Amino acid sequence: MQPSSLAFQTKASDALADPNLQKALGGIKTGWQRGRILAADRLPEFEQLRDQARDIKNHALEHLDFYLEAFEARVLDAGGQVHWARDAAEARAIIQGICQDNGAKTVTKSKSMIAEEIGLNDHLEAAGITPVETDLGEYIIQLRKEPPSHLVGPAVHLTRDQVSDLFAATHDLPRTEDPTELVGQARTVLRQKYLAADVGITGANFLIAETGSAITVTNEGNAELTQGLPKVHVVIASLEKVIPSMEDAFTLLRVLARSATGQEFSTYTTVMTGPKRTEDHDGPEQFHVVLLDNGRSKMIGSKFQDMLRCIRCGACMNNCPVYLAAGGHAYGWVYVGPMGSVLTPQFVGIESAHTLPNASSFCGRCEEVCPVRIPLPNLMRHWREEQFKRQLVPSTVRWGLGIWGYVAKRPALYRFATRVAMAMLGRMGRKEGSFASLPLAGGWTASRDLPAPQGKTFMQQWKKKRRGGAR
């Protein structure tokens, strides 16, 4: 997928004018966002679990080489194979080779953001191999030839009406808006695909070093059918998915579903360890794990290492005011929302994605809800500093930031300037109480009035409050 992140502003404007998209995004607030609040309230130790989850991921990252080697050894012990891929091209070539070695014409896939990251579907199709997405959301967007717009809900940008129209046109059946009937139609189509597939490809939520297992979580059971029915199973996962133990996995699983959808636990949690054994009744004859680096090892020890703690729950985007207004496709690449605003510049280069770190109000909500406490605003701030250094923002913006920086580093001058500006704006806006337009504030006043300041500056009020508290 070629990045189009530089068009974020244009795409966001189009998204705001799209009534179907705005209706669909509104459902996140009443669904997943509220669900997380209720699920966290029901679990007294939720905040403690978040600390444990952060510490587990930090420990794994600090000893990543050790746990990756341990994971590989356990996979080999269980009869599986591990393939190391330095970048997307190597990962695609490895998977294509496995498919061709087994004469595969059709592969089924369960939802995998890593497969999206490496552009696997297009590559397989070019090689004459048909990929079939089996996650309902992924199935829908594959029919529409669109990328996912959310980590957990790939088709969350669509309304039920739009899905009904799509299925009626695709399945050659009478149009229905009944959710059960829509799911039934997709299930009927996909069951035949499961049975015909030569290879099944899944992602992995976690890789367990002590057992060589891969864990997937779904609400539809499609990962189980994808890995269990074909004779060959391929797991594609990135390096940072490895964690030390099964006990650690279940600590992370306790915060994953609650943070993602507000569920206590995902409907299906599957542990996959090696190929079918002699005493097993079913299962794949081959078990391959493709471990993708694609720039992640360079993040170890850098100021972006914290981002590798991400467990792909989507909570940051469910609570981001920018994502909830613009939707996922505005971000122009695989990863969207606040986590995408950090990862995309890392993977495609800041020159191709320098608009994304600015797609944030810095309200801090993303960090507040992150189950592994990733400091997302700080990481986006690092990218803003980088874009400033490389002169990727317009000269007028750099000029304005330069003046602001000069004043902000001199507290006495800053306090004087804010007092003067506030007094002037307060006097100018006294009659109307707000400004319909104001120089240098066009981005704000284009869609809403700017209230005229009243009273004292924040610093004056803070100083007065501290003095009052001291007494």
| pTM, to two decimals | 0.90
pLDDT exceeds cutoff 80 at 185? yes
Percentage of residues of the chain with pLDDT beyond 90: 85
Instruction: Provide mean pLDDT across the span 370-384.
Output: 97
Residues 6+ apart with CB under 8 A from 322: 12, 359, 360, 361
pLDDT of residue 2: 87
Instruction: Provide mean pLDDT across the span 24-30.
Output: 93
Instruction: Provide mean pLDDT across the span 426-445.
Output: 86
pLDDT of residue 77: 98
pLDDT exceeds cutoff 70 at 49? yes
pLDDT of residue 469: 63
pLDDT exceeds cutoff 80 at 257? yes
Residue-wise pLDDT tens digits, 278-314: 999 999 999 999 999 999 999 999 999 999 999 999 9
Residue-wise pLDDT tens digits, 102-138: 999 999 999 899 999 999 999 999 999 999 999 999 9
Percentage of residues of the chain with pLDDT beyond 70: 99
Cβ atoms of 236 and 267 closer than 8 Å = no
Mean pLDDT taken over the chain:
94
pLDDT exceeds cutoff 70 at 470? no
pLDDT of residue 466: 86
Q: In which band, very low, low, confident or very high, does the pLDDT at 455 lie, cut at 50, 70 and 90?
A: confident
Q: What does the CA dihedral 39, 40, 45, 48 come to, rounded to 10 degrees?
A: 140
Residues 6+ apart with CB under 8 A from 286: 80, 81, 98, 102, 231, 232, 233, 275
